[in-house]
Structure 1
Amino acid sequence: MTSRNTAMFSSVTLTVLLLAILSHPAAGQQAASDVTFDTVAITYPEEKEVEVELTGTELGLKASGKAISGKATIKHERGVTSISIRIGGFTPASRLGTQYTTYVLWAITPEGMIDNLGEFRRRGSDTWDAWIGTPFKTATPFQTFSLIITAEPYGLVQSPSRKVIVSNRAPRQSGVQVAPNKISFVGDSEVDMIRFTPDKEIGREEYKKVPIELLGARRAVDVARFFDAPTYAPATFKQAQELIENAERQFNFKQYEESADTAQRAIAVAEMARQLSVSRKKAKDLRDLINDKDATITALEDRIRASDQNKLDAQKIADREAEARRRAEDRLQQLEDSFSRAREDLRRYDTDARRLREDLNRKTDELEAERAEKSKLLQRVAELENQLAEMNRREQAKAEAAQLKATIMSSFETKDDDRGLVFILPDSFFRSATSTELTAEALEKIKLLARYLSADPARKISVEAYTDDRGSEQQRREFATQRAQVVATQLMLGGVVRENLSLFYLGTARPRSTARTAKGREMNRRIEVILLN
């Protein structure tokens, strides 16, 4: 093959490769889901009420151990389809997997359009739900669609999970069009890979009080984290984390309704973070793909231009190589002559260089010895200065610690016992005998105490709440515990590590005085902060 034909073949080949890259579909494009659910889609006539039966799937029967059934009354009018259902036989969604907390009703068209119609929760007890079911009303702009109910990690999900527990059947009324509907669950397999954060282990009765919204918020934050929201939507994800932390605190303080409201907001913000992350990540991937294609196209264009130029310059290159070879041979001869002369000069200079090298080595050894001696002296001076600075720092720290301890001892009644050093916070530290709010003077004293206690981060601290014998045990426990929590909070604000703190309610144990007098009862109402041995 001639050089001309080779160049033409190379040019054509590169052109074909360029066209192939330009026409290739985007990398990472996913095939359609291979997981489907078969049901029927119903076209609802204008201004005609249609009654549709809702039946449970095999999965729903397996999870609940009983049949799920209900009815939906549906009417399409002026572009809106109103839906009213009543259905019973549900079991908690968590029986289908710990990641599931609730159920969602979906409208899905044969073309694959999806509408989240709202979170569905059963009403009342199992008996109530089995007798009359749970009502639910909603609406959708679709006219032709299927109804399904799925188990979900939270209510604001954008696509249904594979856990279909209810679907509609074809209506018995005449004059209503129905068609098969194969529902594909695109992307749902990603959620199955999420490692959800386990719920805290608490008692069964306490767990019953956990709002569904709080469980859903935990799952929503885990889902957003799985979709890289901390990287692609950090501000929104941080807001969701702050909201769920507030909801957890409200639940711990038995503010159940407030916790549910805050958790619902956390779900919405976490879902927003997930959607932002997905869209921003897709945009980044698309930009990277475009940049890669641009770079590939540029490289191919450069190769095509280089190939054409090589064909034109081939003869010139051959002529230049012949001339360069001749000049190189002449230059080689010149270099050989110069090398012979240089070798003679090298023999002559070698003796002088050896003598100079010996003198240089001797001077270098003397200089290194002087430098080593100077370095030792400087190092010793630095060590003495550091020792002096450390002595001054320790003396100052001792003085400050002694002054702080003296202030603490004058501000608190203290005692030593088998538990450790005990600081007694009397009833007068609070605004009244029934108040859990500290006085301004008490706050300042507790700040000093926190500063003293935080100086040794390895020591454990116990906060013990005592009270008098007035009121019921429950009232005394709640009152004393609230006081202890107020004191513990101020200690943490003052620098005490949370993990070092332990709170205990001891009630009327260890009374300091008789409970028969008001003064005695006042002495018994106290908080003891113990720096444990």
Structure 2
Amino acid sequence: MSKKNLLVFLAICASSSVLLAQEMNPTATDKWPQTQDQRKQPQAEMRDGVAVYKVEVVGRDIPAINYFHRSGATKIGFEGTSLLPGAKGSAEVSSERGRMVIKARFQGLKPANSFGIEYLTYVLWAITPEGRPINLGEILPEGTKNDITVTTDLQSFGLVVTAEPYFAVTMPSDVVVLQNTILHDKTAGILEQINAHYSLLPRGAYEKTASQNAVLHPITRNEKSPLELYEAINAIQIAEAAGAKKYAPETLATAQQDLQNAQAMDTHKSNRKQEITYAREAVQASEDARIMSIRKQKAEEAARRQQAQEQAEQAAQQAQLEAQQQATKRAQAEAQASEAEAQAAKAQAQAALAQHAQQQAVDQTAQMRERLKQQLNQVLSTRETARGLIINMSDVLFAFNKYDLKPDAREKLAKVSGILLAYPDLKLQIEGYTDNVGSQQYNEKLSQERADAVRDYLVSQGVAQGNIVATGYGENNPIAENSTANGRAQNRRVQLVVSGNSIGVQEKAPGAGNDAQPAPPSPPQTPNNTGVSNVPPQ
């Protein structure tokens, strides 16, 4: 590559943007076109919002071998996956002074970029039985045979070979081309077979799209330059896409300087070994910068979530405290004056938080009111009004022209009281109504007696008496025409109006909101415990 062409190429790469890489592997997307063999592989599944790819070899796993300490070497084989069925290999694994030495030889590895323009090389991985991958080293795709000798401190592991964008990746891609196999006629020594589970991420760091993350001019192989130089360019582009300019500028600058040194030597065709050394240093520094950037971004996001959670909790606590203060009795006002001033100062400093907390409190109150309405609706017809939740008891729940509660009415009121006991701060206005048949005095008295009967029964079931007010309004405030039997039946009713701060409704007299203003109640009558009205109907 001439110096002029190289400068043009770098300018194009610098002007392109790439898809933000995940920490696990820089080739993490599944949108690249697949070959027929690739489409035979299992589809990626979603686990906790992350795509996970599992290669099916032996029971969806690979066999891992426990290499006990022994004299001599254990032989294993390698077979190609459906992505590269013509590939094969073998290895000798021996134990030497607390470490395992692996001498492997592979055949049939075609150029890695045949799987996609982002792949440039191959990497040998050791996979623990629990799925932890260890990068053992790069397998350069040169010639027909490829040898590699590496060591590991693992005791039990399986071996796979994957295609990668550069050698210094920390998590394998899903392009698994080779996997180890047990040679039953050649493997010697005491072996323990373990199913090693390993999860691999979908591939593809680059994607040709019209979005801002598209790479318009991907890197291609120039046989006149070493493969390591293109791995370095690949690695730096991916690190920049991950935000390394912002989160790891010093490490990225080191990688860029190493790349510049390698490119300068490549331009002048001088000292090929030193050029490869600089390129490999650039790859390693780029991968470090990429992982540092992603971890810092995750840390920032976690800090933002933690801060938002703390602010929400503080706002909720503030809103709850203010709600309690509003409900405090007038006699405690002086004792709480100084605290109210402190809360006002704090509220001013947290205006934005208080507004958010207030909305949360409104939403919670609405949810509680709706939940209470649904519970009461399962017992008696309940509707929501500006005055609160109105529970309707029809005339059929009382004895005719009496205020005695029928057994069915008692059963329903017992259920209502059980529900109300879960909301001890609620207020209850019990209102009795009649139709216009009979005298006004008789109707007012009968409606009062029925309201009192409901109140007394609720108190007997444990509802606080101080939270209940019972009033009879007679034929006032009809909800239907009294000219028809059906309308009169609707007007003969007892209403339980539920209000309180916990459901966001203040106690109001009849007529507030959409209700018509009722006539004032008549003076209380002399108590009558017979269960029958002492004023005959008209």
**Range of TM-score over shorter length:** 0.3 to 0.5
Q: TM-score, normalised by structure 1?
A: 0.48
Q: TM-score, normalised by structure 2?
A: 0.47
